[in-house]
Amino acid sequence: MEQQILLLDRKGNPCAVNVENLVAIRPTARGPEFYTKDEVYFYPTRMDELHLLLKNAGFERLDRTNLVNLNRVKAFDPKDRKVYFEYPWRQDSLSFTVSEANLKKSNTWPRIMRSSRAP
């Protein structure tokens, strides 16, 4: 089975590159460059680049500081504007914030439990 890595091409388009085709990796100030015999690819270093690579896997930007895999979210607390990965959640449960601007996205999460407090 071929191992692949998700990278960006010169135009910023997402690409799945076979690791076996890599001939070298060079560190740069903007992040590593991945070389095949004929092409150079770039590792995403910004949130918008990571979102481009991961959105087909279910990741959405819910706040400036996060990308969240909505396939793994189990609960949403609209009062605190947080998503949780378990339901019921506890005070120490892993959570990520949803910005005010992204609250409208919560309407597209029909299978996620909504509650204003942990049960």
Q: What is the pLDDT of residues 7-61, one digit of tens each?
A: 999 999 999 999 999 999 999 998 899 999 999 999 988 999 999 999 999 999 9
Q: Where are the domains of the chain?
A: 4-48, 60-114
**pLDDT at residue 30 in the model:** 87
57 neighbors 73 (Cβ within 8 angstroms): no
* Among 18, 15, 65, residue whose Cα is nearest residue 43: 15
Q: List Cβ neighbours of 97 (8 Å cut-off, separation of 6 or more).
A: 62, 63, 65, 66, 81, 82
Position 108 confidence tier, pLDDT thresholds 50, 70, 90: confident
